[in-house]
């Protein structure tokens, strides 16, 4: 095939749908591709027809110009698709298999992968551990907000759905397995959420809503979600969460009104480096605001899961220190309370099979909880714009019209 429509980052605030190259089993030079990866052969890969490919808040950071992403980068790391071609070294994945693609690319062979730390694979990104599709400084693997995408180490990376018809009936839920559902779940697991826990989730975007869903799935007694956006808070309330409007002031006071105590057992940061302040400073960026709030409200001996993205390069940061990822966090408070912290990419493969089973057996309705909204690939720029304006939706792109047919 000669063409492949994909969503391309043009400049801050602008994405467009362009015709790009159809994937091959050799990495080519292009925007963001690490020079050491150019010419890299991938006989272990599969070419996947993208059935569903989502817009993520992490993509939005790049589109806002808050990273060093180069113009021309094909975006997209939340991919669900059908295998249409396999390389000569692929043994078990077959053409026609419907699969979820973990957003973090891993080889399955290095020390970290063998320890289950697939978010920091040592072999896929020459610059640093860890990689992802269509993302800045992640090795230059082409993104999957497109009609087709190359998936390396296919036998290792792809999660095959057991029954195609059953999967298509639940395809919007299963589309969340590539990133936000495991990421939210990871935030809760690392925060120690279990039966009877009280949980505060900072951020009611899709990852925050996925974390809140995960907390309930794990048996939390009370899940409180904090945000500035009333529509997103209403979405959290729609499936049983309590909510805190941080524009009204310190979450601690509102949490006490809900629980009778100003502390929670577990905290999850689903906001990341573009955090804003609370109360009168709610419209001003304060990159460390969420981290400091969580250290304040999580009980002594508790834990904080941090699936929210933090970066080492932010040209739009409010101060020079934050531009290189240096934040004024109250580490002394966290130390005094013996808090535990977990950061970094979610190791998707640690959770996605279990979460798939929860979806297939009707234990969770993640697509409904995050308000998954299907739009054609050509409307991706509109989806980015609405998401940036705070729409309480998780936009799912439908490159081939298969989601519209399924619904």
The whole-angstrom distance between residue 360's C-alpha and the CA centroid of its chain comes to 21
Rounded distance between C-alpha atoms, residue 273 and residue 261, angstroms: 28
Q: For 245-255, write each residue's pLDDT tens digit.
A: 999 998 999 99
367: alpha, beta or left? (left if phi > 0; alpha if psi -120 to 50):
alpha
Are 55 and 145 within 8 A, CB to CB? Answer: yes
Over the stretch 35-61, which tens digit does the pLDDT of each residue have?
A: 999 999 999 999 999 999 999 999 999
DSSP per residue, 187-250 = HHHHTT--TT-EEEEE--SHHHHHHHHHHHHTT-SEEEEEES-HHHHHHHHTTT-EEEEGGGS-
Residue recorded with tokens 């054609």:
376
User: 106 lies in which domain range?
Assistant: 3-179+347-406
Please give the tally of structural domains in the chain.
2
Query: 187, 215 in Cβ contact below 8 A?
Result: no
274 shares its domain with 314: yes
154 and 9 in a common domain: yes
Domain end point (choices 289, 313, 343):
343
Radius of gyration of the chain (CA): 20
Q: Residue 181's Cα: distance from chain center in Å? A: 8
Which one of 293, 322, 343 terminates a domain?
343
Element (H or E) spanning 150, and its range? strand 148-151
Residues 141 and 66 in one domain: yes
Do residue 164 and residue 29 come from a single domain? yes
Same domain, 62 and 172: yes
CATH number of the domain where residue 71 is located = 3.90.180.10
Domain CATH number, residue 332:
3.40.50.720
Identify whether residues 329 and 366 lie together within a single domain.
no
The one-character DSSP state at 60 is H
Looking up tokens 């080492």 gives 312
Question: Are 256 and 351 contained in the same domain?
Answer: no
Give, for all 407 residues of the chain, the pLDDT tens digit.
568 999 999 999 999 999 999 999 999 999 999 999 999 999 999 999 999 999 999 999 999 999 989 999 999 999 999 999 999 999 999 999 999 999 999 999 999 999 999 999 999 999 999 999 999 999 999 999 999 999 999 999 999 999 999 999 999 999 999 999 999 999 999 999 999 999 999 999 999 999 999 999 999 999 999 999 999 999 999 999 999 999 999 899 999 999 999 999 999 999 999 999 998 888 899 999 999 999 999 999 999 999 999 988 889 888 899 999 999 999 999 999 999 999 999 999 999 999 999 999 999 999 999 999 999 999 999 999 999 999 999 999 999 999 988 76
């Amino acid at each position: 095939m000669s063409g492949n429509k994909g969503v391309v980052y043009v400049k801050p605030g602008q994405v467009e749908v362009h015709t790009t190259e159809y994937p091959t089993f050799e990495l080519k030079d292009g925007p963001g591709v690490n020079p050491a990866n150019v010419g890299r052969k991938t006989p272990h890969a599969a070419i996947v027809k993208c059935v569903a490919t989502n817009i993520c808040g992490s993509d939005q950071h790049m589109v806002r110009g808050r990273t060093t992403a180069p113009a021309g980068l094909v975006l997209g790391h939340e991919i669900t698709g059908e295998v249409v071609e396999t390389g000569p070294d692929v043994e078990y994945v077959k053409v026609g298999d419907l699969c979820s693609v973990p957003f973090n690319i891993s080889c399955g062979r290095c020390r970290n992968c063998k320890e289950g730390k697939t978010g920091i694979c040592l072999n896929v990104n020459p610059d640093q551990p860890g990689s992802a599709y269509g993302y800045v400084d992640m090795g230059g693997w082409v993104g999957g907000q497109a009609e087709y995408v190359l998936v390396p180490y296919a036998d290792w990376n792809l999660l095959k759905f057991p029954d195609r018809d059953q999967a298509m009936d639940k395809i919007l839920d299963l589309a969340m397995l590539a990133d936000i559902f495991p990421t939210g779940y990871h935030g809760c697991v690392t925060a120690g959420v279990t039966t009877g826990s009280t949980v505060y989730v900072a951020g009611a975007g899709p990852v925050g809503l996925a974390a809140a869903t995960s907390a309930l799935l794990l048996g939390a007694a009370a899940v409180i979600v904090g945000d500035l956006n009333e529509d997103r808070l209403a979405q959290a309330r729609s499936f049983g969460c309590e909510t805190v409007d941080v524009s009204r002031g310190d979450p601690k006071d509102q949490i006490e009104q809900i629980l009778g105590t100003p502390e929670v057992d577990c905290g999850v940061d689903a906001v990341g480096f573009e955090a804003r302040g609370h109360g009168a400073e709610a419209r001003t960026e304060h990159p460390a605001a969420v981290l400091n709030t969580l250290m304040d409200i999580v009980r002594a001996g508790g834990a904080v899961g941090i699936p929210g993205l933090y970066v080492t390069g932010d040209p739009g940061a409010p101060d020079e220190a934050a531009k290189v990822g240096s934040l004024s966090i109250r580490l002394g408070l966290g130390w005094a309370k013996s808090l535990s912290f977990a950061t970094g990419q979610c190791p998707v493969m640690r959770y996605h099979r279990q979460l798939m089973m929860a979806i297939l057996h009707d234990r969770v309705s993640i697509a409904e909880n995050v308000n998954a909204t299907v739009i054609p690939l050509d409307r991706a720029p509109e989806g980015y714009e609405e998401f940036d304006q705070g729409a309480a939706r998780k936009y799912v792109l439908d490159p081939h019209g298969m989601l519209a047919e399924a619904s």
